[in-house]
Amino acid sequence: MGRDLLNAPVLGRFLRWRHARTVLQATCLGLAVLIILDGLFGPQLAPRNLAGTLPWVHWRGFVVLALLVVGNLFCMACPFMLPRRLAKRFGPARLPWPAPLRSKWLAVAILLLFFWAYEAFGLWASPWLTAWVAVTYFVLAFVIDGFFKGASFCKHVCAIGQFHFVNAMVSPTEVAVRDPEVCQRCETLDCIRGRYEASGAADPGRGPRPLELDADSGVVRLATADAASGRALGGKGLVQSGCELALFQPQKTGNGDCTFCMECIHACPHDNVGILVRSPLDELTRDPVRSGVGRLSRKPDWAALALLLTFGAFLNAFGMVEPVFRLQEWMAAALGLTSPLLLLALFFGLGLVVLPGLLTGAAAWASRALSRGSDTLVERASTYAWGLVPLGFGMWLAHYLYHLLIGGLTIVPVVQQYLRDLGVPAGGDPRWGAGALVPESWLLPIELVFLQGGLVVSLVASFRIARREEGGKTSALRAFLPWAVLATILSLMGIWLLMQPMEMRGTFQAI
């Protein structure tokens, strides 16, 4: 680990400030309220509405840039957290999250549903529906965390959170301990228990600390065990929460499930937690038992999430190019399907479940056969799926930055119109022609750099995974080869997609 963002001159000071996160969240909450109001009551032409532009053009572009340059800044500034905090204060918030749902399978299903609904209902083109998606999010976060302990909504339900947890594995920073030896001497473990008023009975977690890390689930068990699974905010005498995502700093590895909430940073009495700079390859190529997660190579649910987001990056872009319409017409005619919703369900089922299953299964089978392994196909796929994450992230970057770069300035006339509607002078007539941030000829080269950068990182990560698993170079090369072929096929598909004319969603010129 290298430098610590908390020691950076201005940024570090801001991040250490106790109320930094609240300020960021309040700013995002204000924006979310404006988006909802404009979505419900403003013009229903997407490029003229805050709900048709800010979330789909600007927010998506900025969050992938943030993941590339820093880390999971969206969760840090998440607007759904303030209402959720109210829910923790006034709701019971004591129920444990149901055991059958303590995995990523529910999140995989929700993401699948979202990918389908995005195209089926044209969310990007409907400010009204976009506003209702945001309202639904607020209600779900409020209700779920009002009833259940810890950050159940973030960990098990939130689709945006899962997107960030997986793609932040390639980010260059991580919330981590500065000096592991300090943790070994630590008697309080406030980073996970939280800090309590020093009034005896109100602090049940103090004292000697038998501690074990479950090798399968990554759950940390302390002497007073409930603290390890995330104590509800506002518990009696609690003055500073510990990690609500059940990530115990000394055994935490990487950004999986970490919302960058900084509670552990504020809770640690030894100032031993920082936001440390690291190699983007570091997290994907190691496989320790991770606190709150377990071993990634033994987690088919996590691997399914990684694969869904990788293949989803390509299918999401495919949904915006002309050949997709011809393919869908052909499918409808061949199968005699008249319902567009059903047709899209079939299309996404094939593109996000069947095809990834077949391709990954084939790569796992070939990798195992070539290296003469004895593991199961699911184990092999769960081990190597992580090597594909940088490629998927490269595709998300290419796609979302395309929209940001071609439509970034649309925010100017949209805000002008918004202010005019409120009766506030906004510097003359809205300039609806504003749009591109860079010349159009720059777009393809920029997109290709991100996509091919993702491919290179994927290949290096996959080979390192193979070296870790196989030991010998020759055997590692054999195990790696099928995954390299799969990554290369996907990247060629990505190049073809990026070279197609793309719909300019949320951008005025498209009309």
Question: Given the rule CB under 6 A, which of 158-166, 186-194, 298-306, 388-396 is the region that contacts ligand SF4?
Answer: 186-194
- CB contact at 8 A, 367 and 380: yes
Burial of 472 per CB tally in 10 Å (0-12, 13-18, 19+)? exposed
Q: What minimum distance in Å lies between the beta carbon of 275 and ligand SF4?
A: 9
Among 77, 125, 170, 189, binds ligand SF4 (CB under 6 A): 189
Distance CA 170, CA 387 (A): 10
220, containing H or E segment: strand 220-221
Q: What minimum distance in Å lies between the beta carbon of 162 and ligand SF4?
A: 14
Q: Which is nearer to ligand SF4, 125 or 243 (CB)?
A: 243
Of 76, 91, 80, whose CA–CA distance to 141 is shortest? 80
- How many residues of this chain bind ligand SF4 (CB under 6 A)? 26
219 binds ligand SF4 per the rule CB under 6 A: no
177 binds ligand SF4 per the rule CB under 6 A: yes
State the distance between the two ends of the chain, measured CA to CA, in whole angstroms.
49
Among 73, 220, 243, 497, binds ligand SF4 (CB under 6 A): 243
Distance CA 230, CA 94 (A): 10
Q: Which is nearer to ligand SF4, 68 or 246 (CB)?
A: 246
273 binds ligand SF4 per the rule CB under 6 A: yes
264 binds ligand SF4 per the rule CB under 6 A: yes
Q: Which is nearer to ligand SF4, 55 or 250 (CB)?
A: 250
Six token digits for residue 469 = 């698993």
Question: Given the rule CB under 6 A, which of 93-101, 268-276, 453-461, 484-492 is the region that contacts ligand SF4?
Answer: 268-276
Distance CA 310, CA 386 (A): 10
380, containing H or E segment: helix 377-384
Q: What minimum distance in Å lies between the beta carbon of 355 and ligand SF4?
A: 33
Question: Given the rule CB under 6 A, which of 40-48, 162-170, 181-189, 472-480 is the region that contacts ligand SF4?
Answer: 181-189
Distance CA 29, CA 137 (A): 12
Among 85, 206, 270, 431, binds ligand SF4 (CB under 6 A): 270
In a 3-state reduction of DSSP, which class is residue 241? coil
Burial of 187 per CB tally in 10 Å (0-12, 13-18, 19+)? exposed
Q: Which is nearer to ligand SF4, 186 or 465 (CB)?
A: 186
Of 165, 156, 163, 152, whose CA–CA distance to 253 is shortest? 165
Contacts of 95 (CB under 8 A, 6+ apart): 147, 148, 149
190 binds ligand SF4 per the rule CB under 6 A: yes
274, containing H or E segment: strand 273-277
182 binds ligand SF4 per the rule CB under 6 A: yes
Q: What minimum distance in Å lies between the beta carbon of 347 and ligand SF4?
A: 36
165 binds ligand SF4 per the rule CB under 6 A: no
Q: Which is nearer to ligand SF4, 247 or 304 (CB)?
A: 247
Question: Given the rule CB under 6 A, which of 56-64, 257-265, 340-348, 451-459 is the region that contacts ligand SF4?
Answer: 257-265
63 binds ligand SF4 per the rule CB under 6 A: no
* Residue given tokens 């319902």 in the structure block: 339
- CB contact at 8 A, 65 and 58: no
Q: Which is nearer to ligand SF4, 50 or 107 (CB)?
A: 107
Contacts of 165 (CB under 8 A, 6+ apart): 72, 255, 256, 257, 258
Q: What minimum distance in Å lies between the beta carbon of 406 and ligand SF4?
A: 34
Paired residues of 196 in beta bridges:
238
186 binds ligand SF4 per the rule CB under 6 A: yes
Among 173, 251, 272, 417, binds ligand SF4 (CB under 6 A): 272
Question: Given the rule CB under 6 A, which of 108-116, 175-183, 366-374, 460-468 is the region that contacts ligand SF4?
Answer: 175-183
Among 54, 131, 158, 191, binds ligand SF4 (CB under 6 A): 191
- CB contact at 8 A, 141 and 80: yes
Among 268, 315, 324, 461, binds ligand SF4 (CB under 6 A): 268
- CB contact at 8 A, 243 and 259: no
Residue 475 CA: distances (Å) to CA of 145, 296, 472, 484: 48, 22, 6, 14
- What is the contact surface with ligand SF4 in residues (CB under 6 A)? 175, 177, 182-183, 186, 188-191, 243, 245, 247, 249-250, 252, 258-264, 268, 270, 272-273
